[in-house]
């Protein structure tokens, strides 16, 4: 029963979209496909500005440049997190400050955010783990109280919502990922999202190598030139064409992922006294990006992952907390005390989840059999 851990949901529609883009002979970025996708996403998300990027990592880097994050500044984020948001801060000479998590959702704890605020704090980066929103009301209230920016790392949050608001549209800036492992993909890609017109104007300059080329194309200036620091963050129109085909399937993708997510929940519910199952708060509409559960301790985590792999189920852990990483310890400071982050990350187990995961009852029985043998 060997199966991949993840597979993109790709079909003939994506193939045809790429062929059509090639035939149009506009392969560079910001062509008709890029513009079309950006406008479609603005309508879908009910947001003023969407700029496609080469990755979510680059969208996060753009956010730090646009907001003027610099040496001496601090940006609060979870340690239970992929490295991109921390790197975006480090590259500006600023310091990532790690806050603890809420074990119910593995998302950042607003109370610990407030404990970590200093005179140097400039921004908060909530990360919506597994497609389930952070407590954005609490986070936005803290940001307003302390005059901080909020940059949503919604890499896992495309087509997920908090109180009917699309993730990535609630803070000052939102960052999406369309990586191969995400629900909606173009292989490598992302998006920079904002409702703030001033931020959007700065972002389009940073995204276009620090030039005002976008204003030139719109006829607002008679020539374009270098006006700010920036880089090349614009994806090819070929990737935008692929993304357009994927966006048309978003309802199908979400429905299929939800179906498989629910089958996992039904399979593991009899073990809820021994395993901690994921929680989706009432305020959240998940996109079912990840199915995970928590073993009783680190030893049981290792035993279950090994036992699943023995029967062809590629279970895995997730993030090694950033505060315990070699880079952090060598370059930023001594390990912080983030008790819940360390404890719960050492218990987390992920199972395969993607629309083409074509398995029957025998697959879920194998999961039950493994757990029965080890509990």
Give the separation between CA 233 and CA 228, rounded to whole angstroms. 14
How far apart, in Å, do the first and last CA atoms of the chain sit?
23
Closest CA to 290 of 159, 181, 371: 181
What single-letter DSSP state applies at residue 269?
G
Closest CA to 159 of 288, 10, 352: 288
The three-state secondary structure class of 348 is strand
Instruction: Count CA atoms within 13 Å of residue 142 on its CB side.
Output: 23
Q: Name residue, tokens 């509990």.
A: 375
* CATH number of 250-374, picked from 1.10.760.10, 3.40.50.300, 3.90.1150.10, 2.60.200.30: 3.90.1150.10
Give the separation between CA 371 and CA 184, rounded to whole angstroms. 32
Three-state SS letters, 88-124: HHHCCCCEEEEECEECCCCEECHHHHHHHCCCCEEEE
Residues across the chain: 375
H/E element holding 251? helix 250-268
Would you say 106 and 338 are in contact if contact means Cβ atoms under 8 Å apart?
Answer: no
Average pLDDT, the chain: 95
Please return the burial class of 252, using the count of CB atoms within 10 Å of its CB with bins 0-12, 13-18 and 19+. Answer: exposed
pLDDT at site 334: 63
pLDDT at site 1: 59
Proportion of the chain above pLDDT 70, given as a percent? 99
Would you say 128 and 134 are in contact if contact means Cβ atoms under 8 Å apart?
Answer: yes
Query: pLDDT by residue (tens digit) across 19-75?
Result: 999 998 888 889 999 999 999 999 999 999 999 999 999 999 999 999 999 999 999
Residues of the chain with CATH 3.90.1150.10: 250-374
What single-letter DSSP state applies at residue 276?
B
Bridge partners, 77 (sequence order): 98
CA pseudo-torsion sign 25, 30, 34, 36: negative
Residues of the chain with CATH 3.40.640.10: 12-247
Annotate 103-128 with b (16+ C-beta within 10 A) or e (fewer): bebbbbbbebbbebbeeebbbbbbbb
Would you say 98 and 323 are in contact if contact means Cβ atoms under 8 Å apart?
Answer: yes
Q: pTM of this prediction? A: 0.96
The CATH class, in words, for 12-247 is alpha beta
Please return the burial class of 87, using the count of CB atoms within 10 Å of its CB with bins 0-12, 13-18 and 19+. Answer: middle
Query: pLDDT by residue (tens digit) across 313-344?
Result: 999 999 999 999 999 888 887 656 899 999 99
Mean pLDDT of 256-268: 98
Pick the more confident residue, 282 or 213: 282
Alpha carbon 115 to chain centroid, angstroms: 25
Query: pLDDT by residue (tens digit) across 155-187?
Result: 999 999 999 999 999 999 999 999 999 999 999
pLDDT at site 335: 57
């Amino acid at each position: 029963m060997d199966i991949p851990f993840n597979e993109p949901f790709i079909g003939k529609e994506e193939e045809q979209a790429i062929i059509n883009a090639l035939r149009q002979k506009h392969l560079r970025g910001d062509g008709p496909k890029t513009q079309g996708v950006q406008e479609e996403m603005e309508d879908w998300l009910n947001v003023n500005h969407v700029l496609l990027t080469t990755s979510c990592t680059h969208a996060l880097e753009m956010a730090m440049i646009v907001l003027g994050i610099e040496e001496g500044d601090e940006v609060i984020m979870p340690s239970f997190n992929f490295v991109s948001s921390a790197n975006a801060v480090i590259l500006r000479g600023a310091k990532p400050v790690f806050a603890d998590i809420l074990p119910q959702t593995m998302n950042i704890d607003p109370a610990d955010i407030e404990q970590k605020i200093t005179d140097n704090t400039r921004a908060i980066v909530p990360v919506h783990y597994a497609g389930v929103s952070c407590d954005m009301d609490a986070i936005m209230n803290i940001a307003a109280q302390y005059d901080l920016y909020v940059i949503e790392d919604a890499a896992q949050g495309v087509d997920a919502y908090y109180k009917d608001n699309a993730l990535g549209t609630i803070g000052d800036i939102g960052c999406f990922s369309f990586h191969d492992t995400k629900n909606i993909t173009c292989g490598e890609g992302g998006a920079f999202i904002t409702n703030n017109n001033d931020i959007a104007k700065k972002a389009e300059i940073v995204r276009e190598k620090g030039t005002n080329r976008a204003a030139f194309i719109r006829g607002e200036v008679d020539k374009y030139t270098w006006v700010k620091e920036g880089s090349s963050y614009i994806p090819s129109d070929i990737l935008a064409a692929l993304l357009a085909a994927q966006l048309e399937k978003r309802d199908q993708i979400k429905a299929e992922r939800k179906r498989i997510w629910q089958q996992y929940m039904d399979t593991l519910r009899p073990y809820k006294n021994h395993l901690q199952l994921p929680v989706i708060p009432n305020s959240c509409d998940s996109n079912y990006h990840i199915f995970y559960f928590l073993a009783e301790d680190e030893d049981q985590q290792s035993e279950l992952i090994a036992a699943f792999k023995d029967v062809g189920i590629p279970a895995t852990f997730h993030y090694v907390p950033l505060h315990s990483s070699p880079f952090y310890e060598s370059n930023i400071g001594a390990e912080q005390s983030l008790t819940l982050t360390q404890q719960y990350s050492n218990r987390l187990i992920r199972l395969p989840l993607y629309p083409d995961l074509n398995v029957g009852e025998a697959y879920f029985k194998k999961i039950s059999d493994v757990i029965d043998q080890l509990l």
